[in-house]
């Protein structure tokens, strides 16, 4: 169908590359590590998804220019905090009409910008698409049923990328709300840390339900404040992704929060964490932007206080429960 370039050879980038190949596209994947490229090209396996056998049609390279000059569509699947540096490298190599599909979920720590805002700041003419929703890479790689949102300001472009990615197990839904899937994809990671902390502290099911319901309200307020649509929060990229990420030990964010809850504070957990946990940086970056916008986000602020200011969890919980009474 199309030439699909994938920038990022981690678990999510590889799972999406596998899906694009299963959808009968030609796929060329860029990875920074030569050993990852060699492993994919010789054994059609990767240490990032050890149980997966990759389609032989996926080719990998350390030459990002060759991927970008060849691709009809590029999936950008590097961690959120590396998006600026990687896209700065990509920008002069991209064809003007090549759409870039943002697959990372986060808000830039240094600026408080969404990933689409980072791209537009570097190269305003880039056709942008966001892929977001409830999807663990390992399950996508195992071809388990998954549904996601693919959003662009252009309905035609969103639908085209949906066709590129649709398989018998991977079901994309199109949207013209580019902003809300980005916002929800980022903030749900913070809520997943909060959910993990709650469970790690054994606060119970009532606490988790209340936390996630009010967390959804925070996501909605922030999305509307930056130009998104409130209704989109009720879709796959909003409540769907939150339900997945905030209730499963497969989620790095939930698992990190759970360990923090059991430890009683964040420092020892984060000092020994070797994996990217997007919600850690997002807890601070979302609060930076929220304060600029005047958006009230008490749960995100609580996670920020626990992670960055070493505030005791019991004090944070007391503060949340003693907030002034208000209508829901």
Please say whether the dihedral angle defined by the alpha carbons of residues 181, 186, 187 and 188, taken in this order, is positive or negative. Answer: positive
**To 10 degrees, the CA torsion angle through 198, 201, 202, 205?**
-10
Cα 267–chain centre separation: 24
pLDDT at 328 (0 to 100) = 85
The pLDDT of residue 274 is 80
Strands (E), 3-145: 3-7, 26-30, 58-61, 73-76, 100-102, 128-132
The residues pairing with 146 across neighbouring beta strands, listed in sequence order, are 170
Tokens 């916008």: give the residue: 293
Q: Which residues of 1-21 are buried (b: 16+ CB within 10 A; e: fewer)?
A: ebbbbbbbbbbbbbbbbbbbb
**Catalytic choice (24, 105, 166, 188):** 188
Specify whether 188 is catalytic: yes
Which pLDDT score is estimated for 63?
98
Q: Which domains does the chain have, with CATH numbers?
A: 3-175 (3.40.50.720), 179-321 (1.10.1040.10)
Going residue by residue through the chain (328 aa), what tens digit of pLDDT does each one get?
A: 899 999 999 999 999 999 999 999 999 999 999 999 999 999 999 999 999 999 999 999 999 999 999 999 999 999 999 999 999 999 999 999 999 999 999 999 999 999 999 999 999 999 999 999 999 999 999 999 999 999 999 999 999 999 999 999 999 999 999 999 999 999 999 999 999 999 999 999 999 999 999 999 999 999 999 999 999 999 999 999 999 999 999 999 999 999 999 998 899 998 888 888 899 999 999 999 999 999 999 999 999 999 999 999 999 999 998 999 888 8
Query: What pLDDT was estimated at residue 326?
Result: 87
**Location of structure tokens 């969890």:** 313
Q: What is the C-alpha separation between 40 and 13, in angstroms, rounded? A: 13
326 CB contacts (<8 Å, ≥6 apart)?
A: none
Q: What is the pLDDT of residue 327?
A: 87
The Cα 191–Cα 195 span in angstroms is 6
pTM of the model: 0.94
């Amino acid at each position: 169908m199309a030439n699909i370039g994938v920038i990022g050879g981690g678990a999510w980038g590889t799972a999406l590359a596998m899906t694009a190949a299963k959808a009968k596209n030609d796929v060329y994947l860029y990875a920074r590590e030569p050993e990852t490229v060699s492993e994919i090209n010789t054994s059609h396996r990767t240490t990032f998804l050890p149980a997966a056998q990759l389609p032989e049609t996926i080719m990998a390279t350390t030459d990002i220019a060759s991927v970008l000059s060849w691709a009809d569509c590029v999936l950008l699947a590097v961690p959120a905090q590396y998006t600026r540096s990687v896209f700065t490298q990509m920008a002069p190599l991209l064809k003007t009409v090549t759409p870039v599909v943002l697959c990372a979920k986060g808000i830039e720590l240094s600026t408080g910008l969404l990933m689409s805002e980072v791209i537009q700041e570097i190269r305003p003419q880039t056709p942008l698409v966001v892929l977001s929703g409830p999807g663990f890479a390992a399950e996508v790689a195992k071809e388990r049923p998954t549904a996601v949102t693919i959003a662009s300001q252009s309905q035609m472009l969103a639908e085209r990328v949906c066709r590129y990615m649709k398989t018998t197990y991977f079901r994309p839904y199109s949207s013209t709300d580019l902003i809300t899937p980005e916002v929800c994809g980022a903030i749900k990671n913070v809520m997943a840390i909060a959910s993990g902390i709650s469970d790690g502290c054994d606060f119970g099911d009532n606490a988790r339900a209340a936390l996630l319901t009010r967390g959804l309200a925070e996501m909605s307020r922030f999305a509307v404040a930056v130009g998104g649509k409130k209704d989109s929060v009720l879709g796959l990229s909003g409540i769907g992704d939150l339900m997945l990420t905030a209730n499963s030990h497969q989620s790095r964010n939930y698992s990190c929060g759970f360990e923090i809850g059991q430890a009683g504070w964040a420092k020892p957990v984060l000092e020994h964490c070797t994996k990217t946990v997007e919600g850690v940086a997002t807890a601070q970056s979302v609060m930076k932007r929220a304060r600029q916008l005047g958006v009230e986000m008490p749960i995100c602020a609580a996670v920020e206080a626990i992670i960055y200011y070493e505030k005791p969890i019991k004090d944070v919980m007391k503060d949340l429960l003693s907030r002034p009474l208000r209508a829901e």
